[in-house]
Amino acid sequence: MSELVGFINLYLIPGLTIGSVYALGAVGISMIFGILRFAHFAHGDLMTIGGYGVLTAVWLLPLHPLLLLPFGIALAIVSALAVDRFFYQPLRQLPTIYTVIASFGVALIFRSLTQLFWSSGNQVFIPGVRPPVILFDTFRFSALHAQVIVLTIIIAILLHLFLSRSQMGRSMRAVADEPELAAVAGLDTEKVVRWTWIIGASLAAIAGVFAGMDTSMHPNLGWNLLLPMFAAAILGGIGKPMGAMAGGLIIGLAEELATYPWIGSDPFISPSYKSAVAFTIMVVLLIFRPQGLFKGRLL
């Protein structure tokens, strides 16, 4: 019994937490790939910008960081729409490799700007030690982890409803399916693109705040998470947001569970090699199942 409780407290909940961060980031990567057809390498840095947006709001308003999420979301949306307008849109008619390279440049710009405005050091949202939540005298976990997991579940449900029920969600799936037919049907493709950025940037900002609150804010926060997020997007089948959500949770869990002492009393994989798990999953997938785990296109 105590072993199971320890497994849940120390591996399962932290795994789902980091998985949620990956999931929220991977959704944007997956949707941008589905609709704009390019790998957005500045997505991690968009997370960082969202995180700093909330950090700044915390300095100005004495509220809990999660209540100030709209500030980070707004900053990330404005940043994403601006780079799309000035860097990506002019390249839209060219082969997508131009946009991919441009997104590398944008990633560098984002990171340099965050260093310029917020310095390159580590900063925390709430100083001091936070006591864990204790449930039934057995389960001990941080309140943040519970908040992250619950919020991610709510976001996943809302995203699913948006994509399947709303006119804009269906338009996005239509453009991802057959962009030329979407134009023939008279859909406003640029509006669909704007909404893709709005949703991708919003979820990236939320993921950035979650990651920053779990550890600390620093300019490389998002960039360091890019590899597992891409692995999650590929695992879910690139272009499928709900697949990316599942992929993120799977990668996060796999990373944490790989350090569980499955055999003997030592961690199965040393925690310092944790990040290699996502990389390994991505390599194996690209070799054996590049279309991802799930069937279908954008849902």
Binding site for another protein (CB under 8 A): 167, 170-171, 173-174, 177-178, 180-188, 296-299
Continuous H helices in the chain: 2-7, 13-36, 43-60, 69-83, 96-118, 143-165, 167-177, 179-184, 189-214, 221-235, 241-257, 275-288
Min. distance of Cβ 284 from another protein in angstroms? 26
Select 80 or 238, whichever has its Cβ closest to another protein: 238
Min. distance of Cβ 180 from another protein in angstroms? 7
Residues 71 and 208 sit within 8 Å (Cβ to Cβ): no
Select 212 or 237, whichever has its Cβ closest to another protein: 237
Min. distance of Cβ 187 from another protein in angstroms? 6
Min. distance of Cβ 9 from another protein in angstroms? 40
Residues 210 and 21 sit within 8 Å (Cβ to Cβ): yes
Select 146 or 168, whichever has its Cβ closest to another protein: 168
3-class SS of residue 64: coil
C-alpha–C-alpha distance, residues 177 and 208, integer Å: 29
Residues 292 and 237 sit within 8 Å (Cβ to Cβ): yes
Select 140 or 170, whichever has its Cβ closest to another protein: 170
Q: How many CB atoms lie within 10 A of CB 118?
A: 18
Min. distance of Cβ 21 from another protein in angstroms? 28
Cα distances from 218 to residues 136, 148, 201, 227, in angstroms, run 36, 19, 18, 17
Min. distance of Cβ 240 from another protein in angstroms? 9
Select 274 or 297, whichever has its Cβ closest to another protein: 297
Select 92 or 297, whichever has its Cβ closest to another protein: 297
Q: Single out the residue of 232, 279, 238 nearest to residue 252, CA to CA.
A: 232
